[in-house]
């Protein structure tokens, strides 16, 4: 089954033209010796589509790496839209900012460097709100990040999160490490939390997508 899934992914990838901006990002990540763990290209296209289709004007990204997902998110935003990206490491944020500027989104993306939980608390204190969220950072904090995204969300905002399969570890009951346990909890929240309308996509390394239900409708 895994081989069939990989063949299907390759088949669909070959239908699309090479993306020079994203290829440049991948090259810069490799050259910098950074982990080559950007969101899968198919899911990158999905992020662009979702941001555009939902009419999101502001997006919050948790985990910038080299800017691959940042470009995908920025592409879906309208003129004057805003992307705020949280990144733990200054060198990663610098590379991401340079790559987004090269792709034409230098005025769209704003980077906050430091511990993501602290940055999220600061955004909450400042009263910031967002229409779209993408989580692709330290897996142990996925449930906490989801809760904070809900608190920072405009009505009907979308949350997407990468690596929900953890290369198959979430499926293996023997695996009980903190990251695996946290992602399992996150996956269950996407499926069962009444504040969310969620779906899980099993391709690549797994992607979760949820719409945050209207606060007024639910009486919060």
Query: Cα 130 from chain centroid?
Result: 14
Let me know if 67 is exposed, middle or buried by CB neighbors in 10 A (0-12, 13-18, 19+).
Answer: buried
- What is the DSSP-derived secondary structure letter of residue 54? T
The CA-to-CA distance between both ends of the chain, in Å, stands at 43
Total number of domains constituting the chain: 1
pTM: 0.94
In this predicted model, what pLDDT tens digit does every residue of 135-180 receive, in sequence order?
Answer: 999 999 999 999 999 999 999 999 999 999 999 999 999 999 999 9
User: Domain range for residue 123?
Assistant: 2-218
Q: What is the mean pLDDT of the chain?
A: 95
Residue-wise pLDDT for 13-53, tens only, equals: 999 999 999 999 999 999 999 999 999 999 999 999 999 99
Q: Looking at residue 31, which CATH number applies to its domain?
A: 3.40.50.150
177 in Cβ contact with 140 (< 8 Å): no
d(CA 204, CA 161): 13
Quick one: pLDDT at residue 6?
Answer: 87
């Amino acid at each position: 089954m895994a081989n069939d899934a990989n063949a299907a992914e390759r088949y669909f990838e070959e239908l699309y033209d090479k993306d020079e901006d994203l290829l440049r990002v991948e090259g810069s990540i490799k050259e910098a010796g950074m982990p080559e763990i950007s969101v899968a290209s198919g899911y990158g296209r999905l992020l662009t589509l979702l941001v555009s289709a939902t009419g999101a004007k502001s997006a919050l990204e948790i985990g910038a790496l080299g800017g691959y997902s940042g470009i995908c998110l920025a592409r879906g935003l309208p003129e004057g839209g805003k992307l705020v990206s949280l990144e733990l490491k200054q060198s990663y944020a610098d590379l991401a900012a340079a790559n987004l500027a090269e792709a034409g989104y230098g005025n769209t993306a704003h980077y906050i460097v430091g511990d993501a939980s602290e940055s999220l608390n600061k955004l909450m204190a400042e009263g910031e709100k967002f229409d779209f969220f993408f989580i692709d950072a330290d897996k142990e904090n996925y449930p906490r990040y989801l809760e904070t995204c809900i608190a920072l969300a405009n009505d009907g905002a979308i949350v997407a999160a990468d690596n929900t399969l953890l290369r198959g570890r979430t499926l293996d009951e023997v695996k009980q490490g903190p990251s695996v346990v946290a992602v399992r909890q996150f996956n269950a929240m996407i499926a069962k939390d009444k504040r969310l309308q969620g779906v899980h996509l099993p391709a690549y390394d797994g992607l979760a997508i949820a719409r945050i239900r209207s606060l007024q409708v639910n009486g919060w």
